[in-house]
Amino acid sequence: MGQGTRYNNAQVVDGEAWNEKYAIAAATAALLKNVLVVGADGNKKVIADYDSSTAFSVTAKAACANFPKGSEVFDIQAKVIWKKTAVEGTDTWYYSTVGTLATSSGVATSTAAAATINEQSGVITTEALTTAGDADYTFTLTNSFITATSKVFVSVGKGTATAGAPAVAWVTPGAGSVVIIIRNTSPSVALNGTIEISFLAFN
Q: Which range is least confidently modeled, 2-6, 8-12, 76-80?
A: 2-6
* DSSP three-state, residue 93: strand
Q: What is the pLDDT of residue 101?
A: 52
Residue 2 pLDDT exceeds 50: no
Please state the rounded mean pLDDT for residues 56-70.
88
201 close to 146: Cβ distance less than 8 angstroms: yes
pTM, rounded to two decimals: 0.54
Average pLDDT over residues 145-151: 90
Each residue's pLDDT tens digit, 78-105 = 778 888 887 777 767 876 655 555 456 8
The Cα 175–Cα 146 span in angstroms is 6
In angstroms, the CA 169 to CA 152 distance is: 13
Quote the CA–CA distance of 196 and 149 in Å, as a whole number.
Answer: 24
Q: Which domains does the chain have, with CATH numbers?
A: 12-97 (no CATH), 105-202 (2.60.120)
